[in-house]
Amino acid sequence: MRILAVASEAFPYVKTGGLADVVGALPLALTELGHDVVTLIPGYPQVLATLGPAEVVDRYGELYGGPARILQKHRAWGEAGWMVVDAPHLFDRPGHPYRQASGAPWDDEAFRFAALAVVAREIGLGRLAAFQPDVVHAHDWQTGLVPAYLALDGRMGPATVMTVHNLAFQGQFTPDWLGALGLPASSFTVAGVEYYGGIGFLKAGLAYADKLTTVSPTYARDIQQDLWGMGLQGLLAARAADLAGIVNGIDTVHWNPADDPFVRPGYDADRLALRGQHKQALQAALGLEVRGDVPLFVVISRLAWQKGMDVLLAAVPALVEAGGQLAVLGSGEADLEGGFEAAGTHHRGRVAVRLGYDEPLAHRLHAGGDAVLVPSRFEPCGLTQLYGLRYGCVPVVAATGGLIDTVVDADEAANGTGFLVEAGRTDRLIDGMRRAIAVWRDPPRWQALQRRGMMQDLGWRRPAEAYLRVFEAALAKR
């Protein structure tokens, strides 16, 4: 099968969150299963700087305000393919891929992602003789117009699949954009791109794609309900027969404690004692008391309401009181950043906070931490608990969405891999951290927990097979 994936970010070229990890890793697994995948992403400066040798395979004289070139990365046999929309007037901007320095989105955000979608439509409709996809796979709101443009085009096109990585981000624009985005007036209906009086990019994708997926079975159910449907629950419930939940895999090569360039010496489930030196190094580097006799909890997260970071902040005094240490790596909402910094100052030696984005430190936190906290209010899938499982860093997570599908509570089941607590409640989180500490003080039981987590099959093969079944079902609808 030939698959064109389209996304606004992809590891290793540009990443702001879990979306990039998935978009980077799924094509590799599909390629290993014998399929031909090309991923189309915007040509941000960091993408062009790291792409490596590429050739120009197409040109647009005018693409939403300027010329564009379509670059294709040179591809060795057995590799997944990459194409990049090099449109400097839209994407050659420094800093964050989605936001201005002020934090506000770009005024022409609609054009930037419409341009990506137009290029995807054209490739989908056969513009490049060398790569004519059977299926186009769109990820998140930035690519919601891809299924819409293809469905609204008169020509016979590929099957389309829309994947939701987070329903909270929807891409809403005022109705006056309709004509400029090349959308016909007839598409401005409840069954089309119209969304609460405006234009909804994600809504459009969910309305027009042949099949829909999201990143866990529990989140697939959650988003059909009022609580987490974010306005789209009606549409999603109506399309329930077309909606599948597929838990993300992780890149087990890049996230491998036995062979991780950021974690030397490597370790595995049979050499867990080596984790002790990673913990010491981490404590020293972060200014925590270097002690083996206190449990170290770690967090790698956007500092956001969704992630329950306010719930965690309120639990910090109790965690310290219970004898724990906390290391936080993240960035996000200003009041949360300030709150965690203040907690770090107040509990010096017990709480360490690093604001910013730091990929190597994320790896070291999983290798040296005893437990990783994921107290999200809602969580489509979550990746840090999966990295935690892989690294023997036991997850303590909120019982919501994909966290329910990936962590088994050690106090509830013999095959436990972590601890689940009710979402959104500080008292329950404190209780969960105390339960974790109690097991941590019983090393044989804790190590059994770590090993069970490390033995989980977290790779992309099974999820990739599930995506293929969805692609086939989408093709069958044609």
* From candidates 4, 8, 14, 21, binder to ligand ADP by CB under 6 A: 21
* From candidates 300, 309, 404, 408, binder to ligand ADP by CB under 6 A: 300
Of the pair 135, 286, the CB lying nearest ligand ADP is at 286
Shortest distance in whole angstroms from residue 129 CB to ligand ADP: 36
What tokens does 419 get? Answer: 């601890």
Of the pair 244, 299, the CB lying nearest ligand ADP is at 299
Binding segment toward ligand ADP, per CB under 6 A, in 12-20, 83-91, 393-401, 469-477: 12-20
Q: Under the criterion CB under 6 A, does residue 17 sit at the interface with ligand ADP?
A: yes
Shortest distance in whole angstroms from residue 303 CB to ligand ADP: 9
String of contacts with ligand ADP for each residue 256-275, x by CB under 6 A: --------------------
Shortest distance in whole angstroms from residue 375 CB to ligand ADP: 12
Hey, which residues between 424 and 453 contact ligand ADP (CB under 6 A)? none
Burial level of 474, CB count in 10 A (0-12/13-18/19+)? buried
Please give the residue whose beta carbon sits closest to ligand ADP in the complex. 18
Of the pair 86, 337, the CB lying nearest ligand ADP is at 337
* From candidates 109, 122, 358, 472, binder to ligand ADP by CB under 6 A: 358
Give the number of residues in contact with ligand ADP, rule: CB under 6 A.
19
* From candidates 362, 389, 454, 470, binder to ligand ADP by CB under 6 A: 362
Q: Under the criterion CB under 6 A, does residue 18 sit at the interface with ligand ADP?
A: yes
Query: Cα(195)–Cα(187) distance, rounded to whole angstroms?
Result: 11
Q: Under the criterion CB under 6 A, does residue 98 sit at the interface with ligand ADP?
A: no
Of the pair 367, 383, the CB lying nearest ligand ADP is at 383
String of contacts with ligand ADP for each residue 156-195, x by CB under 6 A: ----------x-----------------------------
Query: Cα(279)–Cα(393) distance, rounded to whole angstroms?
Result: 11
* From candidates 89, 254, 302, 445, binder to ligand ADP by CB under 6 A: 302
Shortest distance in whole angstroms from residue 193 CB to ligand ADP: 25
Shortest distance in whole angstroms from residue 291 CB to ligand ADP: 25
* From candidates 79, 289, 335, 359, binder to ligand ADP by CB under 6 A: 359
Shortest distance in whole angstroms from residue 147 CB to ligand ADP: 22
Shortest distance in whole angstroms from residue 257 CB to ligand ADP: 14
Angle at the Cα of 357 (from 356 to 362), degrees rounded to 5? Answer: 120
Of the pair 214, 301, the CB lying nearest ligand ADP is at 301
- Evaluate whether 121 touches 146 at the Cβ level (below 8 Å): yes
Residue 179: count of CB within 10 angstroms of its CB: 10
Shortest distance in whole angstroms from residue 407 CB to ligand ADP: 13
Hey, which residues between 312 and 351 contact ligand ADP (CB under 6 A)? 329-331
Hey, which residues between 368 and 397 contact ligand ADP (CB under 6 A)? 381-384
- Evaluate whether 266 touches 260 at the Cβ level (below 8 Å): yes
- Evaluate whether 330 touches 372 at the Cβ level (below 8 Å): no
Of the pair 2, 254, the CB lying nearest ligand ADP is at 254
Shortest distance in whole angstroms from residue 184 CB to ligand ADP: 34
Shortest distance in whole angstroms from residue 100 CB to ligand ADP: 20
* From candidates 357, 456, 461, 466, binder to ligand ADP by CB under 6 A: 357
| Residues making contact with ligand ADP (CB under 6 A) | 17-19, 21, 166, 300-302, 329-331, 357-359, 362, 381-384
